[in-house]
A and B are shown apart, each in its own frame.
Chain A
Amino acid sequence: MYDTIGIWVGALFTLAIYSFLYKENPVYRLAEHLVVGISMGYIIVLIYNTVILPKLLEPIFGGNHWLLIIPGLLGLLYITRFIPSIAWLSRYPIAFVMGTGMGIGFPLTMKAYVLRQLEAAVIPLYSSGMPWHEVLGNIVMIFGTLAALIYFFFSKPHKGLFFGTGSKIGIWVIMLGFGATFGFTVMGRISLLIGRIQYLMGDWLHIIE
């Protein structure tokens, strides 16, 4: 019974969202507003069950970890944002999260976004037994990365052999990349659409298996 009602409700809301393809209407607007409320309500429960209860309330009241009152009080300062005369106090928890987050993020960003990427881009063009398309791919990847970087380098005018030709090759590589990403995104959306049609035709109407 629970599942049957669930499938009917899910199917009706699926149709409500698809009704937007015709034009915006009250049923679509209702579904749109509902999803905002439900997701926020879900996050409240999730944060309470995964952070507030096990990491703050239980250790304080169950394990006498009184030091945890400090982050608790710091967090409560967010509420001052709603009281204009002391709203500046909300900067303290933001400063804590922001400062420590930036500090933690600095070496990790350096590692993941810069060093690892450079390391992966510096590869041999050819080794024995490597098929020709891989050799070509390695050439495209190394010089393509360099050319795309030149395209994004705006401190020098894109003129001359290095910057001029480099940036021209760079935009071709970027267009190839954007085209591939676009094609991949379309495939992802289409497979979601197929999933919804399967839900309507299979789970709901039982027309297909």
Chain B
Amino acid sequence: MKRTVPLMIVMVGGILMIIQYFIPHQYSLIVFDNYLEWAPIVGAFALILGVGSLTRLHSHKIRRRAKNWQYSWAVLIPLFGMPFFALIMPESLGGGTDVHGVHDFLFMHVQVPIQATMFSLLAFYIASAAFRAFRAKSALATVLLLAAVVVMLGQVPIGAIFGRWLPETGLWILRYPNLAAKRAIMLGVGFGMLATNLKIIFGVERNWLGGAGK
């Protein structure tokens, strides 16, 4: 019951879904349509695990007065405040998900600017990483450096000052050698995914079972 039944569910579900792809019969389409209805519902409940773990972690920190415990309130208050304002609070008091509500305000004016700034912060770190990585110590590092410089300059107006060849070469690198490398990596990833799929379906890979209840 603890291990065999879940492994059987995986095997039966996996084989059934592979078969239905190759046999587009009326019955297999019904199975697929039902799956499309059921899978998001089951998957949505996984959110409980995420919210539960996050709440447990931060409430423990607050209770034990762990280091920087005060910041845990900054996680817990919006975590429960957002659903409260969006789903429970009446619109007249700033509830709901429409514009001008608390939910919309927190998303548009707190989360969006913070996330965009965090990604833009990487511009500074990527520049310092580039300084270290691009020191042309070997022929291969020089190729890396040249490709990056040509692609970067080819994308901005200043690149055209050096001549039309620079943006064209940048585009050529993106279109051909870059695509060749990406395609090879993608093929490798694809074969890896196929192997992992089969290993999970046939119960060779069982790490997903975790250690819950052994």
Contact = CB atoms under 8 A, between A and B. Distances in A.
B27 interface: no
Contacts of B183: 117, 120-121, 141, 145, 148
Interface in B162-209: 168, 170, 172-191, 193-194, 197-198, 200-201, 208-209
Given A6-B105, A29-B71, A145-B183, A107 B87 contact: no
B195 to A, nearest CB: 10
Contact of B177 (A14, A18, A74, A176): A176
Contacts of B93: none
Contacts of B68: 29
A41 B78 contact: yes
B117 to A, nearest CB: 4
Contact of A103 (B13, B56, B86, B112): B13
Contacts, number: 400
B62 interface: no
Interface string B91-121: 0000001001001011111111111111111
A82 B107 CA distance: 30
B201 A41 contact: no
The winner among A56, A85, A148 for most chain B CB atoms within 10 A is: A148
Contact of B109 (A7, A44, A92): A7
A21 B152 contact: no
Chain B interface bracket (under 10, 10 to 19, 20 to 34, 35 or more): 35 or more
Given A55-B41, A75-B45, A177-B182, A192 B116 contact: yes
Q: State the main secondary structure of chain B at its contact with A.
A: helix
A193 B76 CA distance: 30
Contact of B13 (A56, A100, A192, A193): A100
Interface string A164-191: 0000001111111111111111110110
A81 B49 contact: yes
B152 A186 contact: yes
A2 B98 CA distance: 13
A147 to B, nearest CB: 8
A163 interface: no
Contacts of A104: 17, 21, 35
A189 B123 contact: yes
Contact of A45 (B21, B71, B83, B105): B83
Interface string A88-99: 101111111111
A75 B41 CA distance: 7
A175 B110 CA distance: 39
Nearest to B12: A99
Contacts of A147: 180
B211 to A, nearest CB: 9
A42 B82 contact: yes
A56 B45 CA distance: 11
The winner among A13, A49, A84, A106 for most chain B CB atoms within 10 A is: A106
Interface of A: 2, 5-7, 9-11, 13-14, 16-18, 20-21, 29-45, 47-49, 51-52, 55-56, 68, 70-72, 74-76, 78-79, 81-82, 84-88, 90-107, 109-110, 112-114, 117-118, 120-121, 133, 136-138, 140-142, 144-145, 147-149, 151-152, 170-187, 189-190, 192-193, 195-196, 199
Interface of B: 1-3, 5-7, 9-18, 21-22, 35, 37-52, 54, 56, 68, 71-72, 74-83, 86-87, 97, 100, 103, 105-124, 126-127, 130, 133, 140, 143-152, 155-156, 168, 170, 172-191, 193-194, 197-198, 200-201, 208-210, 212-214
